[in-house]
Structure 1
Amino acid sequence: MKKLVYSLSILLAFASCKQEEVDLIVTNANIYTVDDAFGKAEAFAVKDGKFVAVGSSDEITKKYTAGNTVDAKGQTLVPGLIDAHCHFFRYGLQLQKVSLEGTKSYDEVLQKISDFIDEKKVDYVTGRGWDQNDWEVKEFPTKEKLDKLFPRTPVAVKRVDGHALLVNEAALNYSGLSETNFPKNITGGEFITKNGKLTGVLIDRAMDYIKMPNTSTKEAISGLMDAQKINFSYGLTTVDDAGLARKEIELMDSLQKTGDLKMRVYAMVSASQENLDYYTQKGIYKTDRMNVRSFKVYGDGALGSRGAAMKKSYSDRENHFGALIYSPERYQQIAKQIAASDYQMNTHAIGDSANYWVLKVYKDALGDAKDRRWRNEHSQIVDMNDFELFENVIPSIQPTHATSDMYWAGDRVGADRIKGGYAYKKLLDTYGKVALGTDYPVEKVSPFLTFYAAVVRKDLDGYPESGYQMENALSREETLRGMTIWAAYSNFEENEKGSIEVGKFADFVILDQNIMEVAGEKIPKTKAVATYLNGEKVYEND
């Protein structure tokens, strides 16, 4: 009998020490969990695509075993990064078109277009990225040189912010227009003219009159795959794609289901009436990788092209105020329809007038409703008296806009109004959270540039020496939260991602340096060593 009892005790002891089999174990890491306490850890275990334990290396290795183990060797590890406002689908398409980013003159733009035509042998040139504010002559280009160089090939290339379009006469003719035959009075846009003739630059809704070649499914898929590869290389595991057509969402969803597109997408549906009717009736559509529950609305244009709606005249253009894209009544109609559904309203607002009107429309539509999490995208120039209107609205902001615009934004709006510009800390203090993104391809994809701009508020040359309006800089903890858990919150996804906690998706990135401690000027040089989604390695830096 004693032998039997002894044998049973040995078996029970052995059973109690038996390790649990999991899919992945990571040890010896400098982990920022980004939980409520902003805690630290050394290791975790992953099973079935989710974190099942987080703790010290000793705790994890004693309890768990896995065929796939990673010794992080002290490297910093953070939750998978979320870009809370970008144009993932559009960026992929842009990779298939002429890129004009970084051009320093109109002549360089023309040369890139010429080279693109020679290489691709296209019948119609489209692309994006020029910015006259980066040129020595900081004025909008005109189409004369385009017409001379490309008399029979239509050219239609967007400004970096997507709110201005440069076209030649061939593109106008393709669209049934000419330099003297075009709509004279339109709402929410402008055909820029000189001596009664089109210069070739169209602002906001005027761009709708230009016919573009259709995108093939093959081209769209190639673009998505290219965009995914680049995003994973920066540690991004979720993208909030701002302004998608139904067919684009359905294409991405189909590619996710086949396993080709692994990226998680929070889809903001373009708020056409057709889309509003379809999706509010259909209801929220949610999978592990696709979340369709918001509408993207345009409030106004961009500051760089003076399309942003301002309460008072632009400081550098007398009697010019920019414009709302729609009539005030239309915003009320849209908000009322969305408020009656479970959907979120996310509105692009740049100028102080647009910000005020959008926030007022939100307040009128929502009343006392809580936790609707409607978002104000960009929140760029806000009247100092209007910040309190963000009390129930999430500021969705892109820090690199501040460091891209700081050279000329003050001239656009003047010394007094710029105090309410790019005021990220004040927005955070008002709402309590901010969702951080890039707005790529308007800016670059790198979230490390976002981190740098939010915390250091300088350009890559270290200008200005003391930082730009540093009273509105964010701390490193606030910035990392804004790129992870707060961004997840803005998507109603904080219970499934955004932090390294038990039960959440095992999305994480290993970094080559500690962005929470490294010198500020070194932050932009940060690289993703490896990116994991659902515990699967989707990128490794060779």
Structure 2
Amino acid sequence: MRSTYYLLALVAICLQFSCADKHPKADLVLFNGNIYTLNETEPKAEALAVTDGKIVYVGNNVNANQWVADTTQIIDLEGKTLTPGFIEGHGHLMGIGKNLINLDLLNTKSYDEIIEMVKTKVDEVEDGEWILGRGWHQDKWFVLPENMIDGFPAHNKLSEISPNNPVVLSHASGHALLANAKALELAGINSDTPDPEGGTIFKDLGGNPTGILNESAEKLIDDIIPEDSDEKKIQTLNMAIEECLKNGITSFHDAGVKQKTIDLYESFLNNGLLKIRLYVMLNGRDEELLKNWYNSGPLIGAGDNFLTIRSIKLYADGALGSRGALLLEDYEDAPGIQGLRLSPADYIMRVTEQGTKNGFQICTHCIGDRANHEVLDMYEIVLKSDTSMANPRFRIEHAQHIAPDDIARFGQLGVIPSMQAIHMSSDRPWAIDRLGEKRIVEGAYMWQELISTGAYVMNGTDAPVEPVNPLASYYASVTRQTLEGKPENGYEPDQRMTREQALRAYTINNAYGAFEEGIKGSIEIGKVADFVVLSKDIMKIPAKDILATEVEYTIVNGEILYQK
């Protein structure tokens, strides 16, 4: 009997070693981590293993040892926090690169500061060369110029320092620009130029252009700005990708591009240069582009899930800062003005129907409560027209100001609010002037109320409108404060997200918003190995320390692409 017992024990030991020998080995193993998986069945772990760009093990340190071979890359996380890679839910990738190359005006505090930056640039370039920049916002200036017209600066000072170089400085929102006299001259814009549909050419009391072109009027100058060379486009995209990786971003929802940009992305993909995953929205203003893609159909998961083109970006209205957001009632600080309708309702309806029929997701820019209301109505009509339709996951980009009666409709209709928490942090101090306290409190930046309806609230930065920094947006999500920590308890604190909600809004919810929750957004076996390693535990540290947290590693497809 005893000999039988020893025999069985020996067989068991042999089998154990035999199994261990046959156990597959990993390319990468990470030990000793504080890992938040966002997998509800196993929310925390301390180790994980990766093979061929996919997660093959999630669990404890002891069992992770089975995945180690001589060729395995090992990272000791030393207790640092690891989460799924951040997914930028709404941004403009090439715009990030352009901001790094052109004048970056995001942190300017006065018009005079901008004038000095342009003056320095004028001294560096040849006569006739275009000077471009983006990021100014008059409501964030500490000192306002004397001669403001309709709340915006005029071009006079800009024209004085740059008489021979056309200068175009885009508003932070991207929905307005300031051009100097030379740029206006080259565009043929003068006192007789009428406002285009959906836009405004600001003019002074004498009828002369001030240099401010709002919404669709921007196109009058955009169309004559020389196109970048191929070399500069490559440089721009490379710089944008690197900036994303520095900030822990492993995937990016690019909100509205044309075919030339898609061609550039495909070229990067084919040459192994596309280091982050892209979910691309077609520019819905380009009907020829849409027609061509309707004929070919969506592109899903090209290059091992690095490039997907299956959505369309439409514009219902403009921005709140330039009073282009479409409101149900007048602006509080501009009686008689209710914003601008950037696309005819029948056009949005037609593209929604045709795009959905051809397999494309519809993502519509809506800032104001009227824009949100009307687009929700259109989405509802399409959903009810075919009750057998699989959930098309219609999105509303920004969903910034919503009429109280419309909030519940997001959850009821399955419409995804693709929001940017950092906009609350940056805009809330002056947005109350546009909307008034009642509308702010009842319908602006309503994260918690939207979540309670069952809606998948997404998060992002809208870069380059804001810096492409997920941690700043995460901070705004959980504090509802400015980045300076004001006010003490946050604006409308009942709408704050919990830490887990905020992390989900930057990972698995954004994956859901792209039909990709099955392959990314949480740390689970079989999903892509996209991670960010942080210097602090953002789920537990005091809120004030979130902004001091640094990205230690960004790992995409199991490869370390950024290390501090």
TM-score, normalised to structure 1, is 0.96
The one-letter code sitting in structure 1 at the alignment partner of 2:173 is D
How far the C-alpha of 1:147 sits from its partner, in A, is: 1.9
Given candidates 186, 208, 213, the residue that maps to 1:197 is: 208
Q: CA deviation at 1:11?
A: 5.8
8 Å Cα contact 1:393-1:431 kept in structure 2: no
Q: Can you list the C-alpha shifts for 1:279-324, whole angstroms capped at 9, x where unaligned?
A: 1221110211001000111111100110101111101001011111
1:492 maps to which residue? 515
Letter of the structure 1 residue corresponding to residue 323 of structure 2: R
Query: In structure 1, how many angstroms separate the alpha carbons of the residues matched to 2:244 and 2:195?
Result: 41
The answer for the alignment partner of 1:87 in structure 2 is 92
For the Cα contact (< 8 Å) 2:532–2:552, is it kept in 1? yes
Displacement of 1:356: 0.7
Q: What SS class does the counterpart of residue 435 from structure 1 fall into?
A: coil
What residue in structure 1 maps to residue 59 of structure 2? 55
- Structure 2 matches for 1:365-444, cutoff 5 A? 365-367=382-384, 368=387, 369-391=389-411, 392-419=414-441, 420-444=443-467
Deviations 1:122-148 (A, max 9, x none): 701111011100122283110111222
Secondary structure at 1:377 match in 2: strand
Compared CA separation, residues 500 and 120, structure 1 to 2 (3 A)? farther
Q: Given that residues 29 and 67 in structure 2 are in contact (C-alpha distance below 8 angstroms), is that contact kept between their aligned partners in structure 1?
A: no
Instruction: Flag the 1:401–1:9 CA change in 2: closer, same or farther, 3 A.
Output: closer
Question: Is the 8 Å Cα contact of residues 436 and 483 (structure 1) preserved in structure 2?
Answer: yes
| Separation in 2, partners of 1:539, 1:259 | 16
Structure 1 match to 2:550 = 527
The letter for the 1-side match of 2:215 is D
Distance 1:335 1:20, change over 3 A: closer
Name the structure 2 match of 1:70. Answer: 75
Residues 324-344 of structure 1: CA deviation (Å, up to 9, x unaligned): 102222211221211211100
Per-residue CA deviation, residues 147-169 of structure 1 (Å, 9 max, x unaligned), is: 22212211111000000110112
Q: Secondary structure at the match of 1:337?
A: helix
The within-5 A match list for 1:95-244 is: 95-121=100-126, 123-135=129-141, 136-137=143-144, 139-178=151-190, 180-182=191-193, 184-195=194-205, 196-210=207-221, 211-244=224-257
Q: After superposing the two structures, state which structure 1 stretch, 456-465 or 345-354, moved more.
A: 456-465
Amino acid at match of 1:254: S
CA distance in 2, matches of 1:469, 1:245: 39
- Partner of 1:466, secondary structure, is coil
- Distance in 2 between the 1:10 and 1:170 partners? 84
> Which one-letter code corresponds to 2:62 in the other structure?
D
Equivalenced residues, count:
537
**Aligned partner of 1:373: which letter?**
R
Q: Which of 300, 304, 310 lines up with 2:327 in the alignment? A: 310
Identity %: 38
Contact 1:395 1:431 (8 Å CA) reproduced: no
Please say if 1:23 is aligned against 2:37: no
Q: Tell me what 2:306 maps to.
A: 289
Distance 2:328 2:455 in 1: 27
Contact 2:553 2:563 in 1 (8 A): yes
Give the stretch that moved more between structures: 137-146 or 107-116: 137-146
Contact 1:156 1:171 in 2 (8 A): yes
Q: Compared with structure 1, are the counterparts of its residues 5 and 316 closer, same or farther at alpha carbon in structure 2 (3 Å cutoff)?
A: closer
- CA displacement 1:41-90 (0-9 Å, x = unmatched): 11111100100111111111135435211111111110111010011112
SS state of the match for residue 453, structure 2? helix
Which is further off, 444-453 or 121-130? 121-130
Partner of 1:42: 46
Distance 2:429 2:10 in 1: 79
Distance in 2, Cα, partners of 1:442 & 1:26? 35
Q: Once structures 1 and 2 are overlaid, which stretch shifts more, 492-501 or 323-332?
A: 323-332
Shift of 1:8: 8.4
Residues 344-376 of structure 1: CA deviation (Å, up to 9, x unaligned): 010110011111111111111222434211100
- Label 1:488 to 1:9 Cα distance change in 2 as closer, same or farther (>3 A): closer
Q: Evaluate the alpha carbon distance shift between residue 37 and residue 438 of structure 1 in structure 2; reply closer, same or farther with a 3 A threshold.
A: farther
CA–CA distance in structure 2, aligned partners of residues 115 and 432 of structure 1:
48
For residues 77 and 160 of structure 1, the distance between their equivalents in structure 2, rounded to whole angstroms, comes to 32
Would the aligned equivalents of 1:187 and 1:326 in 2 still touch at CA under 8 Å?
A: no
Cα distance, 1:526 vs structure 2: 1.1
Q: In 1, are the aligned partners of 2:372 and 2:399 still within 8 Å (CA)?
A: yes
Amino acid in the other structure paired with 1:318: P
The one-letter code of the counterpart of 1:301 is: G
Separation of aligned partners in 1, 2:123 and 2:338: 41
| SS of structure 2 residue aligned to 1:309 | coil
Taking the aligned partners of 2:54 and 2:518, their CA distance within structure 1 comes to 12
Structure 2, unmatched stretches of 5+, are: none
Q: Does 1:352 align with 2:378?
A: no
Return the alpha-carbon distance in structure 2 between the equivalents of residues 528 and 478 of structure 1.
20
State the Cα distance separating 1:389 from its structure 2 match. Answer: 2.2
Q: SS at 1:148's partner residue?
A: helix
From the superposition, tell whether residues 318 and 7 of structure 1 become closer, same or farther in structure 2 (CA, over 3 Å): closer
The alignment's C-alpha RMSD in Å is 1.9
Letter of the aligned partner of 2:280 in structure 1? A
User: Is the Cα contact below 8 Å between 2:415 and 2:455 reproduced in 1?
Assistant: no
Residue 485 of structure 2 corresponds to: 462
SS in 2 for 1:203: strand
Q: Secondary structure at the match of 1:324?
A: coil
Q: Deviations over 1:195-227 (max 9, x none)?
A: 211111010001111121211111111011111
The AA in structure 1 aligned to 2:324 is: G
* Residue type at the aligned position of 1:107: D
Q: TM-score, normalised by structure 2?
A: 0.92
